[in-house]
Amino acid sequence: MDTITTSAQEGTLPFAGHTDVTVTDHVAGRCQAVNDILARVGDKWSMQVVMVLADGPVRFNQLRRAIDGISQRMLTRTLRALERDGLVSRAVTPSVPPRVDYSLTELGRSLREPVLALGSWAMANRETIDAARTEFDRRAI
Amino acid sequence: MDTITTSAQEGTLPFAGHTDVTVTDHVAGRCQAVNDILARVGDKWSMQVVMVLADGPVRFNQLRRAIDGISQRMLTRTLRALERDGLVSRAVTPSVPPRVDYSLTELGRSLREPVLALGSWAMANRETIDAARTEFDRRAI
DNA sequence: CCGCATCCAGCAGGATACTG
DNA sequence: CAGTATCCTGCTGGATGCGG
């Protein structure tokens, strides 16, 4: 069994307003949570799943087909991680064959907004970024 | 020499408004850029660097000390990746000893806003998430 | 249909030592 | 001071096969 406890890469993110604390470094303990979320948002499949789920409940294999390239294993793992964080809920219909629907929780839906903001930024600046990369690579030969 | 070309995990993010396209899947080529950015934002050190750089130019070892736990190697790699994407600029003062200042570009500064939005979301919901995790782990024994 | 277990390649990322 | 080079480890994530 693959444990999923979310490696939760430790470290801190000095978020605005670390008006300086006397102890360790900056707010340390508290905004490590931010890094945690960033890691989940940044992983290969999480946000793709969230975006597909945005339109309503979707079954496992629908999800699998909707997200091009994802393996069964990774879909399961991603869904479990999202479920563990309370972003996705899992509804089992004990029929034959079994039916499992996944949907966003209220928390999951609330995450869409900031992620979409980031997505808009990415779309708005992708050409600039591509140009910067090309230029950087050209100068490095 | 470690190449840095940003593994750019391929895949697509079906962003709002994929009113369905006839071809491959969803917008495919275009919003793969979003995943790309998400990966950079989600990696272990990038955003910590960006946040420290927010206050103005910072030298290499200042950065190293400011970001607790980062290795020299990873700081270099992270800075190169950010520089390649046009988010950070590098200014060398050829003195003895050498001095190198890193600062955010305009693009880099513009990234702070959506990332801070995500950070606020994380801070606002971290207790809910922690509770969800504890509950999930409890039920799984 | 849903999902777990196993095996395996590749890369992220840490520690260390060495240069201009 | 600001890196680069080398080595080594553990996790991520893909492929495949089995079970309820």
Q: Which of A15, A42, A85 sits opposite B38 (nearest CB)?
A: A42
Spatial neighbors of B76 by CB under 8 A, at least 6 apart, are none
Say which of B37, B40, B129 has its CB closest to residue A85. Answer: B129
B17: pLDDT strictly greater than 90: no
The reply to whether the CB atom of residue A97 sits less than 7 A from any atom in nucleic acid chain C is yes
Q: What does the pLDDT read at residue B18? A: 44
Band (B21; pLDDT cuts 50, 70, 90) = very low
Inter-axis angle of helices A46-53 and A72-84, nearest 10: 80
Structure tokens at A39: 């890691």
The answer to whether B37 touches A118, Cβ cutoff 8 Å, is yes
Q: What is the pLDDT of residues A26-58, one digit of tens each?
A: 466 567 889 999 999 999 999 999 999 999 999
Half-sphere exposure of A74 (CA within 13 A, CB side): 12
Q: How far is the CA of A8 from the C1' of D6 (A)?
A: 28
Say how many CA atoms lie within 13 Å of A44 toward its Cβ: 14
The domains located in chain B, with CATH, are 27-140 (1.10.10.10)
C1' of D15 to CA of A70 (Å): 12
Which residue in chain A is spatially nearest to B134 when comparing CA positions?
A84
**Distance (Å, rounded) from C-alpha A58 to C-alpha B48?**
35
Which residue approaches C10 most closely, CA to C1'? B7
Cα–Cα distance between A83 and B57 in angstroms, integer?
Answer: 41
More confident residue, A31 or B57: B57
Q: Which pLDDT score, from 0 to 100, does residue B9 have?
A: 43
When pLDDT is cut at 50, 70 and 90, the band that residue B32 belongs to is confident
Gap from A51 CA to chain B (nearest CA, Å): 6
Over range B25-42, report the average pLDDT: 78
Mean pLDDT over all residues of chain A?
A: 85
Query: What is the percent of chain A where pLDDT is above 90?
Result: 72
- Residue A118 tokens, joined: 């980031």
Q: Which residues, 6 or more positions from B16, have their beta carbon under 8 angstroms from its beta carbon?
A: A51, A54, A116
Would you state the pLDDT for residue A27?
60
B83-87: long-range contacts, CB 8 A cutoff, minimum separation 24: B83/A136, B84/A132, B84/A133, B84/A136, B84/A137, B84/B4, B84/B6, B85/A129, B85/A132, B85/A133, B85/B6, B85/B40, B86/A128, B86/A129, B86/A131, B86/A132, B86/A133, B86/A136, B87/B50, B87/B111
- pLDDT tens for each residue of B67-107: 999 999 999 999 999 999 999 999 999 999 999 999 999 99
Whether residue A15 contacts residue A31, with contact meaning beta carbons closer than 8 Å, is answered with yes
Query: What is the per-residue pLDDT for A32?
Result: 84
Question: Who has greater pLDDT, B74 or A8?
Answer: B74
pLDDT at B6: 46
Q: What pLDDT does A87 receive? A: 98
